[in-house]
Amino acid sequence: MPTGLLLYSIGFVAALILALVMTPLIKKLAFKVGAIDKPNHRKVHTRVMPRLGGLAIYIAFVGAFLILQPFIPEGLLRPWDIDMINALLVGGTIIIILGALDDRFELSAKVKFLGQLLAACVVVFGFDIHINLVNVPFGETMQPIAEWIGIPLTLLWIVGVTNAINLIDGLDGLAAGVSGIAIATIAVMAAFMGYQPVILLSTLLLGGIIGFLVFNFHPAKIFMGDSGSLFLGFSLATLSMLGFKQVTIVSFVTPLLIIGVPLSDTFFAIVRRWVNKKPLFAPDKEHLHHRLQDLGFSHRRTVLIIWGVAAMFGVLAIFQSVVVQSTAANWITFAVICLLMFFLQIGAEITGIVDKTRRPLINFLGRLGLRITKVNAQSRGK
């Protein structure tokens, strides 16, 4: 009976192989059913591309889990763990169906929102999984919160993270890579905490993502589509939420760090549209990946830069989850937040992700004698 590292390794390899096998088949299916992405003024690709790639990740994840299920040692999964896995599988199935339909028929924003809310309600009300403990900075212990706060907060978290991954899915391999880094971060944190069910689910998801990335990295042969971005967002939201409920050494900040790239991009998109007096949900070409390309970075270099930023957030999340046990944890958390806010603002002003002309913090630093020059690919080399 495989245990520990061997079990996770078998699951990872099984998911990887399934994704490698299924992705070309899903590509053919996408063309056959008309789930294709046509070029337009907002998109960077110039030819018709198949979508539905998320279906390959989902099949790899579920298939690998079913392969491993007979070999999972008795006692490894507690009743709450089984509920969490079932919540992820059932809710994820709703999401993948919703995303696949959108890849084919381009559903309205209202229909997609209702579908996401339904999947979130399955997690919360179907399996009684919701945020009920929060460790806020400068709190002595995990603080219980009332259901009337925890349930709406959980629904907001799941729907918000699900859409955040969707928003960054603009370049080949971008959303898949950022999601993979976030899931790998969760796996490492779960290993530190000895929480085996999360390690298992994370390694299965990671195997499926890496197998899909073989076909999705630039130049992509298939897009993950909304089926992929919504499924990965939902999975990330569900897995990262465990830090609120089950693992008492994780602070409120840690889950935010895990998905720092999509959340910060979403935040700046909201601020940008508010500043420019545009509808909050109006699409544009001013996201981080668009701005980096406007600065002259190539498609592949842009993706690698954002992967690097995502990895930095992941390292900070792991660091935060480890040091939060120390007596100085609250001050370390506060320092991490302050540094992040500082560098996020600097990055936003350099890239022009909110406004291409306003640079208040950089100008203030300039008055103090600190000069920050505009970064571009020509000055650094592509």
Each domain of the chain, given as residue ranges in start order, spans: 4-380
Q: Which residue has the higher pLDDT, 125 or 281?
A: 125
Judged by average pLDDT, the poorest of 113-117, 141-145, 200-204 is 141-145
User: pLDDT tens for residues 332-358?
Assistant: 777 777 888 888 888 888 888 888 787
User: pLDDT tens for residues 68-85?
Assistant: 988 888 777 777 778 888
Q: What does the alpha-carbon distance between residue 186 and residue 192 come to, in Å, rounded to a whole number?
A: 10
Token pair listed for 232: 């990965």
pLDDT number for residue 366: 79
pLDDT number for residue 228: 95
Looking at residue 62, its amino acid is V
Question: What is the band of 381 on the pLDDT scale with cuts at 50, 70, 90?
Answer: very low
Q: Do 124 and 234 contact (CB within 8 A), yes or no?
A: no
Distant-in-sequence, close-in-space partners of 135: CB < 8 Å, separation ≥ 6: 141, 142, 143, 248, 250, 251, 252, 324
pLDDT number for residue 382: 46
pLDDT number for residue 328: 54
pLDDT number for residue 247: 38
Q: Which residue has the higher pLDDT, 284 or 142?
A: 284
Instruction: Report the predicted TM-score, pTM, of the whole model to 2 decimal places.
Output: 0.88
Q: Do 295 and 375 contact (CB within 8 A), yes or no?
A: yes
- Residues linked to residue 143 through DSSP beta bridges, in sequence order: 134
Q: Chain-wide mean pLDDT for the chain?
A: 84
pLDDT number for residue 32: 95
Cα angle for residues 202, 207, 208 (degrees, 5° grid): 100
Distant-in-sequence, close-in-space partners of 31: CB < 8 Å, separation ≥ 6: 50
**Cα 58 versus chain centre, distance:** 15
